[in-house]
Copies of this chain bind each other. A is one copy, B any other.
């Protein structure tokens, strides 16, 4: 889980949203926790700060954060998992051995032109998840 980051990832709420203690608790729990997490785990951690917190509020807050790309549901994994994301285009390296998720800015999706020519398809976005073994697990 140890991946040096220079600046802590911003985890922001949308502009219109009110800053409530409940939302703060969720955001803090995300910020302080591991990069990837399940809703249940997050709920548990956020409740340590805000014991009355309701599960529905956690889902509501996650939805807000998803809209700002602060987090992203983790595709291809057991359900109910999210990853905390830094801003900007990036993809995920998922370790099959320990489950940690790393980000990479490396990206090599098929080019728009190629997709258009070969498939008549106009791409808007893409998701790339790479599975394998992380540095730590390879060392061990």
Interface residues of A (CB under 8 A from B): 73, 75-76, 79, 91, 93, 95-96, 102, 104, 106-111, 114-115, 118-135, 138
Contacts and interface: CB of A to CB of B under 8 A. Distances in A.
Contacts of A120: 134-135, 138
Contact of A106 (B114, B122, B134): B114
Nearest to A130: B126
A115 B107 CA distance: 10
A12 to B, nearest CB: 22
A102 B121 CA distance: 9
In the A-B complex, the 3 residue pairs with the closest CB atoms: A120-B135, A75-B75, A106-B110
Nearest to A136: B120
Given A104-B110, A118-B106, A127 B129 contact: yes
A128 B131 contact: no
A121 B93 CA distance: 8
B102 A130 contact: no
Nearest to A93: B121
Contact of A75 (B111, B127, B133): B127
Contacts of A114: 106
